[in-house]
Amino acid sequence: MVLAHLAFGGVRLTLTLWAVARGMSPLGVGVLLSMLMIMPTLTSVAMGRWSDRVGFRPPVRCGMLLILLGGLLAAWAPHLAVIALGSVLVGWGVTMAQVAVTQAIGQACGPEGTTWGFAGMSVGFSFSGFVGPLVAGVLIDNAGHASAFLAMCITPPLGLLLLRTVRSPLLQPVARAQHSEGVAPQASLMALGSIRSALIIAAMVALAWDLFNFFMPVHAAALGLSATAIGAIASTYAAGSLAVRMVLGRVAQRVGPARLLTVTLAMTVLLYGITPWATSLPQLLALALLTGLMLGAGQPLAMTLLHQNAPPGREGEAIGMRSVIVSASQTFLPAAFGALGSALGTGPVFWVVALTVLLSLLMVRPNLQAQG
């Protein structure tokens, strides 16, 4: 999963800067980036059900191949139509792998170990999120965008080789037998209040996370920073998320996932409220580190709440529902951010997201308090 995500992070930054270098407006950049998650938005629940049925190996294998194909297309013919197709394949592939791996980790760790397991996976995401954008930024400045796309094609074959070495009875498709234990497969998970609240929380974390990944490069480019500097900002953000995830399991065990989520989202509101006033590289690096600390904790905590509240045997489906929200966020929000940025400038976009997260947090806070 780390190898898949490394390619994804590098491709996403390269897409952004390729579009900016060609004079595309923030709206145009947003529309291009939205292509990354258009297929996961439509198919993630089906991906989760597939993973529940067959285990994690077939989806991961298919996902790696899609990432490889998408990266090769973007490197081979860096034209808008081909770049858009490559981004569709890369986003589809990484989500297919992520849904399956997340479901497998939740099964292997059990109810008491989900926070530790998801924090461990997120540590890997932080590492890949640090390396991918940094490598991509340096390659863009020194060898061009096509070289950066091509470099991101190295990791999927490594992931396929690594997949062949994994031999664990904990990662078998055991969920198929659980559907007969009183679980109604056709019942909507959205009928459960705890699932609805967990999905709202996941949506807010995704909204705040995507704002940084998409709009911070646009904001920094508007300030005249180089691709290397923008890559450093993205990598500092990833470093902050890595640092908090190293200790998240222990902290969540003491404080409680729900209470910790409340704190991290409240701090995110504050940080995005002051981001528009940051205009220098040191200021942006400091904000990137602090925001990474907050949202780095938010993602695994949101997954923990969702997995713990899902009926037995339907964890993959619940994770797929979260992936639909995350994918829809990454599909439609870049275009929305771009439209707002084109109309109002980059600063007000951060304020709009801060207000949205604050209102949503107030709405779900009673449920979070009930869960401790």
Segment 221-265, tens digit of pLDDT? 888 888 888 888 988 888 888 888 888 878 877 877 778 888 888
Q: Which tokens sit at 321?
A: 């529902």
Q: Tell me: the pLDDT tens digits for 112-170?
A: 677 778 778 878 877 887 788 888 888 888 888 888 889 888 999 999 998 888 766 55
Residue 179 within any structural domain of the chain: no
Residue 310 within any structural domain of the chain: yes
Residue 168 within any structural domain of the chain: no
Helix (H) or strand (E) holding 15: helix 2-21
Q: What does the alpha-carbon distance between residue 326 and residue 62 come to, in Å, rounded to a whole number?
A: 20
Please state the rounded mean pLDDT for residues 207-219.
83
Q: What does the alpha-carbon distance between residue 129 and residue 66 come to, in Å, rounded to a whole number?
A: 19
Residue 176 within any structural domain of the chain: no
CATH label of the domain that carries residue 271? 1.20.1250.20
Distant-in-sequence, close-in-space partners of 214: CB < 8 Å, separation ≥ 6? 16, 29, 30, 33, 333, 334, 337
Examine the pLDDT at 183 and tell me if it is beyond 70.
no
Residue 186 within any structural domain of the chain: no
Q: Which residue has the higher pLDDT, 116 or 174?
A: 116
Instruction: Give the global pTM.
Output: 0.69
Question: Worst-scoring range by mean pLDDT, 6-15, 27-36, 59-68, 234-243?
Answer: 27-36
Residue 73 within any structural domain of the chain: yes
How many folded domains does the chain comprise?
1
Distant-in-sequence, close-in-space partners of 2: CB < 8 Å, separation ≥ 6? 124, 125, 127, 128
Query: Is 26 within 8 Å of 219 (Cβ atoms)?
Result: no
Residue 182 within any structural domain of the chain: no
Examine the pLDDT at 62 and tell me if it is beyond 90.
yes
Examine the pLDDT at 187 and tell me if it is beyond 60.
no
Q: Closest by alpha carbon to 309, among 204, 185, 198?
A: 198
Query: Which domain range does residue 239 map to?
Result: 2-162+193-370
Residue 357 within any structural domain of the chain: yes
Query: Is 5 within 8 Å of 313 (Cβ atoms)?
Result: no
Q: What does the alpha-carbon distance between residue 11 and residue 330 come to, in Å, rounded to a whole number?
A: 14
